[in-house]
Amino acid sequence: MKVFGSSGTRGVANDELTPEFVLKIAKAAGTVWRSDRVALARDTRATGDMLADAAASGLASVGADVDRLGVLPTPGAQAYAEREGIPALMITASHNPPEYNGVKLIGDDGIELDIGSLERVEEKFLTEAFDEVRWSETGHSDYIEDAREWYVSQLLDALDRERIADAHLTVALDPGHGAGSLTSPEFFRKLGCEVVTANSQPDGHFPGRNPEPIPENLDDLGRLVEASDADVGIAHDGDADRAIFYDENGEYIEGDATLAALASAQLEPGDAVVSAINVSQRLVDVSRETGSTLELTPIGSTNIITRIRELHDQDVAVPVAGEGNGGIFFPNYRLTRDGAYTAAKFLELLTERRASEVVAPYDGYHNVRTNVPYTTDAEHDALLAAAERKANESKAELNTRDGYRLDFGDAWVLARPSGTEPMVRIYAEARERQRAEELVAEIEDALRTAKASA
């Protein structure tokens, strides 16, 4: 797919991602959907209004009425789409810097479009075979005033409110000026928490921090946890489908440790947990300890959703899935990543233990990574041939869904070509740093030798 990557289409707004481009995407999606009504929402980005107007025009021109939800987290747009049984178009660049924007497409079941549906939209986009209607059949916009309020109330209905309220937790929240600024403060208050906030005014220029919830951007949150004596710090990305945590000491918690802790609390013997090919050893260990199966997909949420659906078709329970970047699925709630819901599930764990204690079992894993760059096709081919040879020689369990991942039980190593840069990335993880370093070095040596003779 050229137009849609693994998580929608994104670019610098008004440069790569123009109103004309979004208008065409909306026409193409509207043509494929053939729905007489489509929902439209956006995050807080400065260009969101402009691009939402373009999307509304495109949808109206192919005959769809548009439910305009305004600023709303992506999972809120998904919940609305599911409730109404209509598709939705979301204007967001998720965690990308302020100058970016993008489009996510959501089906009438509230789930991100699968690869097949995206390919159909892309084909319409490229051929411009749009179903434009006569002037008298063009759509009109309805402004839905209570979308945010309803999204918060359906979240509350899906949770054990009493259990969380009884723990009298103090939550330090950093929605990063994104869409969660308008929903998460109220949500955690209604869950019975004391809420203190940083960067919680919606602002598309993101003056306080960049939208990506990584430690470099979250100094404010660490300090806020300490200053307010909070039990936990919670940060979202720009469209609030992710949640990242700080413990009660103001220390950053690795996303992989959070995922492992949440999975450990959810998984029963015979269940499956789905994650991407670069999954942490932490989740490998949790799946073994809980007697569940770990299913690995190529990187990207679309691949994880596809695998969960396949497992559901085989009547396999998948109570939890996701990646170590804070994007976690609880498929029994909904097949979406929802930062607020994920945070509430983490708060459930805090009703019994402090945050640092919840994640302590998943501390002390070491990640090592390196890159082997290439400049010619011959070098690229030689690197991949060497990686394949090493993988086949090894006695470890091999997974080839996206590159070559070798699982040794106590550690793993993965060699895969970067999707964006001319290099093969090598990752390893183990309880001991030296073990991870050795695993990377062995593959790296083989690759560099092969490249030298290419």
* Interacting residues toward Mg ion by CB under 5 A: 94, 237, 239, 241
Closer of 287 and 301 to Mg ion (Cβ)? 301
Q: Give catalytic residue positions.
A: 94
What are the b/e assignments for 418-434, b being 16+ CB within 10 Å? eeeeeebbbbbbbeeee
Cα 71 from Cα 47, distance rounded (Å): 12
Work out how close the CB of 397 gets to Mg ion at its nearest, in angstroms, rounded to a whole number: 32
Closer of 99 and 237 to Mg ion (Cβ)? 237
Cα 444 from Cα 370, distance rounded (Å): 8
Work out how close the CB of 242 gets to Mg ion at its nearest, in angstroms, rounded to a whole number: 5
Work out how close the CB of 170 gets to Mg ion at its nearest, in angstroms, rounded to a whole number: 26
Residue nearest to Mg ion as judged by C-beta position: 94
Closer of 91 and 406 to Mg ion (Cβ)? 91
Closer of 176 and 298 to Mg ion (Cβ)? 176
Closer of 344 and 411 to Mg ion (Cβ)? 344
- The edge-to-edge listing of strands for the beta sheet with 397-399 is 366-373, 423-430, 411-417, 404-407, 397-399
Work out how close the CB of 402 gets to Mg ion at its nearest, in angstroms, rounded to a whole number: 21
Work out how close the CB of 180 gets to Mg ion at its nearest, in angstroms, rounded to a whole number: 10
Closer of 8 and 319 to Mg ion (Cβ)? 8
Compute and round to an integer the Cα radius of gyration of the chain.
22
CA dihedral 239, 55, 83, 346 (to 10 degrees): -10
Indicate the burial class of 238 (C-beta count within 10 angstroms; 0-12, 13-18, 19 or more): buried
Cα 111 from Cα 77, distance rounded (Å): 10
Work out how close the CB of 379 gets to Mg ion at its nearest, in angstroms, rounded to a whole number: 35
Indicate the burial class of 272 (C-beta count within 10 angstroms; 0-12, 13-18, 19 or more): buried
| Contact partners, residue 187, CB within 8 Å, separation at least 6 | 152, 155, 156, 340, 344
What are the b/e assignments for 30-48, b being 16+ CB within 10 Å? bbbbebebbbbbbbbbebb
Q: What angle do CA 205, 203, 220 make, to 5 degrees?
A: 85
